A and B are shown apart, each in its own frame.
Chain A
Amino acid sequence: MEAVLKWLSDSQQIIYIVILMIFVGIEVIGRVPSVLHTPLMSGANAIHGVVIIGAIIVMGKAEGDNYPALILGFLAVVLGTLNVVGGFVVTDRMLEMFKSKKK
Chain B
Amino acid sequence: MEFSILTLIYLIGSVTFIIGLKMLSHPATARKGNWIAAAGMTLAILGTIFLYRDDETGAKLHNYGWIFGGLLIGAIVGTLAAKKVKMTAMPEMVSLFNGMGGACAALISLIEFSHYAGEGFKNSITEAYESGDQIDNAVLELGVQSGVLITIFAGLIIGSVSFAGSMIAWGKLNGKIKDFAFKGQHIVNQVILVAIVGLSIFLIYKIRMSVGPVDDAPTTPLNIAFITTMFYTVLALSLLYGILFVMPIGGADMPVVISLLNSFTGVAAACGGFLYDNKVMLTGGILVGAAGTLLTILMCKAMNRSLLNVLIGSFGGGNTGGGGGGGSKEQGAYKEISLSDTAVIMSYAHKVMIVPGYGLAVAQAQHACHELEKLLESKGVTVKYAIHPVAGRMPGHMNVLLAEADVSYEKLQEMEQANEEFATTDVVLVLGANDVVNPAAKTDPASPIYGMPILDVELAKNVIVNKRSMKPGYAGIENDLFFQPKTSMLFGDAKKVLQDLIAEIKNL
Contacts and interface: CB of A to CB of B under 8 A. Distances in A.
A28 B25 contact: yes
A78 B63 contact: no
Interface in B62-105: 62-64, 66-67, 69-71, 73-75, 77-79, 81-83, 85, 90-91, 93-94, 96-98, 100-101, 103-105
A7 B146 CA distance: 9
Contacts of A60: 49, 52, 60-64, 67
Contact of A47 (B21, B77, B83, B143): B21
A26 B17 contact: no
B327 to A, nearest CB: 30
Interface string B330-372: 0000000000000000000000000000000000000000000
B459 interface: no
Contacts of B52: 56-57, 60
A85 B78 contact: yes
Contact of B17 (A32, A47, A76): A47
Interface residues of B, number: 120
Nearest to A50: B284
A54 B155 CA distance: 11
B71 A77 contact: yes
Nearest to A42: B94
A72 B110 contact: yes
A100 B282 contact: no
Nearest to B292: A44
B21 A57 contact: no
Nearest to A30: B294
Contacts of A90: 82, 85, 90, 93-94, 97
A94 B395 CA distance: 13
Interface in A46-64: 46-62, 64
Contacts of A93: 82-83, 90
B446 interface: no
B30 A98 contact: yes
A88 B127 CA distance: 47
Contacts of A99: 31
A57 B41 contact: no
Contacts of A40: 21, 24-25, 291, 295
Nearest to B61: A60
A76 B24 contact: no
Interface string B272-295: 111111111111111111111011
Contact of A10 (B83, B94, B143, B395): B143
A37 B247 CA distance: 24
CB-CB nearest 9 A-B residue pairs: A81-B74, A60-B61, A25-B290, A77-B70, A3-B143, A86-B78, A54-B272, A85-B78, A89-B82
Interface of A: 2-7, 10-11, 14, 17-18, 21-26, 28-62, 64, 68-70, 72-102
Given A49-B97, A73-B63, 15 more contacts: A3-B143, A10-B144, A28-B291, A30-B294, A36-B24, A37-B299, A38-B91, A43-B33, A44-B292, A45-B97, A46-B37, A53-B278, A60-B62, A76-B70, A86-B96
